[in-house]
Amino acid sequence: MTGESFPLALTYDDVLLVPLRSRVASRREVQTCARLTRTLQLNVPILSANMDTVTEARMARAMARAGGIGIIHRFMTILQEAEEVARVKRPEEAVARKLHTISPHRPLSDASALMGRHNVTSLLVVDRDDRLLGILTVRDLMFEEDMSLPVSARMTGGAQLVTAPVGTTLDQAREILHQHRLEKLPLVDADGRLRGLITARDVLRLTEHPQAVRDRQGRLLVGAAIGAVGDYLERAEALVAAGADLLVVDIAHGHAEHALRATERVKSRFPDTQLLAGNVATAAGVRDLVSAGADAVKVGVGPGAACSTRVVAGVGVPQLTAVLECAAAARELGVPIVADGGIRTSGDIVKALAAGADTVMIGSLLAGTEESPGATVTRRGARYKVYRGMASAGATEDRRRRENPEDVLDELAAAATPEGVEAVVPYRGTVAEVLNQLVGGLRSGMSYCDAYTLDELRANARFVRITEAGLRESRPHDIELMDED
Ligand code: XMP
C-alpha cells in the first residue's frame, strides 16, 4: 500500500455549496418534509440524539411538536425507557384518556354526582359488556326536574348518536365533529364496544403545532434506542408495547457482525416497527444493515462534538465523504440515511442534506436547550448545560453502576479507554427557538440552491472544495464580535 493511493475524505468545513440561479423568491416557499425511514416522514429533517444529556420524553415531545423526532436514549432501565416513550405518546390528544361511563339504568342524580366528582361535562352510557348506548351531557341535565329518571331517558342514543371506528385520525374526527356540530366523538370497535373518545379540544390542539408529526391516532411520533447485546430484545419488546414508532439499534460500530445479527433479530421479531440501525461510515456498512432488515441507516463514525473515537482508535471517515458514499448506496436500496454527528451550524445541515442525507441527528446543539435532561451549571455568570459522549468515562461509569456487567461487558470495557468526553455547552433557550434558527438557515440554503424540496436540493447541489484561506474567509473575520457565544 502506498500513501498516494489513499482516497481523500472531506468534511463539512472542506466544502461550500455554489449559489445557483433560483426560482425561489422567499424562504417561506420551500418544503422541509423528509423521509426518516421506509415509511415514516418528518416535517423537519432533524432527530435529537439518543444520548442521556439530550433526549428523554420532554425533548422528544418538543422535537415532534416542531416537526422532527426525538430518540429516547437507552442508558436507563427497560421500565424507565418504556415509561419515557409512553410519556411522549400519552395524550395531549386524549384518545386514550380515562373514559367516564355510566349504566343506562342509573338515575340522573347519580350521573350528575359522577360528573361533579370527576369534573367532566359528559358521560358515556354503556351496557354491561361495554357496548356504547349513548352519551349524556351536562346540558341534558340542566333544568331537569325529575332527577330520579334513568340515564336512558335523557341521553342521546340510537340513530342520533354519532360514533367513529377505532383508528379514526384527528383530521377525520375534525370533519365529523364539524359536520354534526358536535363536541365529543366516541370511538367504538366492530362490536360497538367503547374504545376511546375524541373531543373538539383535541382537534383544536392540532392547530397549535401545525408542523407536529403524529401517528394515525394523533399521538406524537417518538423513537427509542436499544443496544445490540444483553437485554436488547426484551427492551425492544417493552418499547414497542409502550408505543415507540421507531426502534434505533444504536452501537458505535454498526458494521460489527453482532450489530448486524441484532438488527436481523429485532426486525424479524418486530416486523411492523420501523428500524433505524447504525452507525456506519461506508457503503458496505449500509448494504449489510439494509440486508439485515434496517429501514434506515445512521451514518457517522467519530464526527460528534463529544466523540474521541478518531483520536483514541484512529478510526473514522470525515462526515461529508461518509454521507456521500453511504447515500449513494442507500439510494440504490430505496432506504433513507441519517447523518449523525458533527452538525455545528445550519449550514452544516444544508451540506449534509445536499450530500444525500435524508435527515440529520443532532446532539450538542440541542443539549443546551431548556428541554434537554442535562444538568444546568453556571460559570462566570453564564448558563451552561452538561453534555457528554455516551462512551465517555462518566457515562460508562454510570452504566457500570446500573447495569448487569455480564450483558454489556464489551461496551463497559470502554470505561478503561473512553471514546467520548464530558463537557458543557452554552444554554440556548427552547428547542422551538433553536429549531427555528436551524430550519431558517436550511430554508435559506435551499433557496440559494433553487430547491423547493429536499429532493431538489440533493439533485441540484453543486459543491466546491475550499482551502484553509477559504474557510477563514467564510467565517466572520477581522472584526471584533460584540457578543460571542
Ligand atoms: P453532535 O456533534 O451533534 O454528535 O454532538 C452527536 C452524536 O455523537 C455520537 N456520540 C459519540 N461518538 N463517542 C463517540 O465516538 C461518544 O462517546 C459518543 N456519544 C455520542 C452519537 O452518534 C451522537 O448522535
Coil, strand or helix at 278: strand
Domains contained in the chain, number: 2
Q: Give the cell for residue 181.
A: 356540530
* Domain endpoint, select from 207, 225, 259: 207
* pLDDT at 217 > cutoff 90: no
Which of 152, 181, 207 lies at the terminal end of a domain, its last residue?
207
Give 359's contacts (C-beta < 8 A, 6+ positions apart): 34, 35, 36, 42, 45, 46, 47, 336, 338, 339, 353
Output the residue whose Cα is nearest ligand 1's atom 9. Answer: 304
Cα distances (angstroms) measured from residue 85 to each of 147, 219, 253, 356, 414: 44, 11, 25, 30, 28
Mean pLDDT of the chain: 92
- Is the distance from the beta carbon of residue 309 to the nearest atom of ligand 1 less than 6 Å? yes
Give the model's confidence band at 218: pLDDT under 50 very low, under 70 low, under 90 confident, else very high: confident
Q: Is the CB of 363 under 6 A from ligand 1?
A: yes
Has residue 484 got a pLDDT over 60?
no
Query: In the structure, what pLDDT confidence band is assigned to residue 201 with cuts at 50, 70 and 90?
Result: confident
Closest ligand 1 atom to the C-alpha of 421?
17
For residue 276, how far is its CA from the centre of ligand 1 (angstroms)? 16
Q: What angle, 0 to 180 degrees and rounded to 10, lies between the N-to-C axes of helices 431-448 and 346-354?
A: 50
Interval between CA 235 and ligand 1 midpoint (Å): 22
Q: Are 387 and 256 members of one domain? A: yes
Pocket test for ligand 1, best of 390, 398, 421, 425 (most atoms within 8 A of CB): 390
Q: What is the DSSP track for 410-477?
A: HHHGGGTS-SB-EEEEE--B-HHHHHHHHHHHHHHHHHHTT-SSHHHHHHH--EEE--HHHHHHHS--
User: 186, 194 in Cβ contact below 8 A?
Assistant: yes
| Residue 482, in any domain of the structure | no
pLDDT in tens, 42-94: 999 999 999 999 999 999 999 999 999 999 999 999 999 999 999 999 865 44
Where helices occur in 142-256 by DSSP H, the ranges are: 170-180, 200-206, 232-241
Residue 312 to residue 409: CA distance in whole angstroms? 19
Is ligand 1 within 6 A of the CB of residue 391?
yes
* Shared domain check, 229 and 181: no
H-only helix segments in 142-247: 170-180, 200-206, 232-241
Give the residue whose CA is nearest to atom 7 of ligand 1: 341
Looking at 207, 233, 252, the residue that finishes a domain is 207
Tell whether 121 and 241 lie within a shared domain.
no
Please return the burial class of 142, using the count of CB atoms within 10 Å of its CB with bins 0-12, 13-18 and 19+: exposed
When pLDDT is cut at 50, 70 and 90, the band that residue 412 belongs to is: low
Judge if 386 and 455 occupy the same domain. Answer: yes
Residues 202, 223 within the same domain: no
Ligand 1 neighbourhood includes 302 CB (under 6 angstroms): yes
Regarding the beta carbon of 392 and ligand 1, being less than 6 Å apart is answered yes
First to last CA, the chain: 45
pLDDT at 405: 59
Instruction: Report, in angstroms and rounded to the nearest whole number, the Rg of the chain calculated over CA atoms.
Output: 26
User: Is residue 38 included in any domain, yes or no?
Assistant: yes
Decide whether any atom of ligand 1 lies within 6 Å of the 420 Cβ: yes
Whether residue 479 lies inside any domain: the answer is no
Q: Is the pLDDT of residue 281 over 80?
A: yes
466: Cα separation from own chain's centroid = 34
pLDDT digits (tens, 9 = 90+) for 140-164: 998 889 999 999 999 999 999 999 9
CATH of the domain at 166: 3.10.580.10
Q: Whose CA is nearest to atom 15 of ligand 1?
A: 307
Gap between the Cα atoms of 380 and 382, Å rounded: 6
State the distance from the centre of ligand 1 to the C-alpha of 306, rounded, in angstroms.
6
Q: Which of 307, 364, 399, 422 to mutate to test the pocket of ligand 1 (most atoms within 8 A of CB)?
A: 307
Report residue 359 CA to chain centroid gap.
Answer: 11
Does ligand 1 have an atom closer than 6 angstroms to the CB of 70? Answer: no
User: What is the residue range of 419's domain?
Assistant: 3-92+212-474
Hey, which of 11, 12, 51, 438 would you mutate to test ligand 1's pocket, going by the most ligand atoms within 8 Å of its Cβ? 51
Q: Is the CB of 389 under 6 A from ligand 1?
A: yes
Contact call for residues 369 and 383 (beta carbons, < 8 A): no
Our answer on whether the CB atom of 280 is closer than 6 Å to any ligand 1 atom is no
Residue 480 maps to a domain: no
- Cβ atoms of 424 and 385 within 8 Å: the answer is yes
Confidence band (pLDDT; 50, 70, 90) for 416?
Answer: low
Q: At CB < 8 A and 24+ separation, what contacts does 39-43 make?
A: 39/274, 39/295, 40/69, 40/221, 40/245, 40/246, 40/274, 41/213, 42/67, 42/68, 42/69, 42/213, 42/221, 42/359, 43/67, 43/68, 43/211, 43/212, 43/213
Residue 408 domain flag: yes
Ligand 1 centroid to 31 CA: how many Å?
A: 28
Q: Is 307 among the catalytic positions?
A: yes
458 C-alpha to ligand 1 centroid (Å): 25
Summarize pLDDT for 227-241 with one digit per residue, the tens. Answer: 999 999 999 999 999
Q: Is 8 within the bounds of a domain?
A: yes
SS3 339: strand
Grid cell for residue 40 = 415514516
CA of 255 to the centre of ligand 1 (A): 17
Candidates 250, 255, 364; CA nearest to 304 is 364
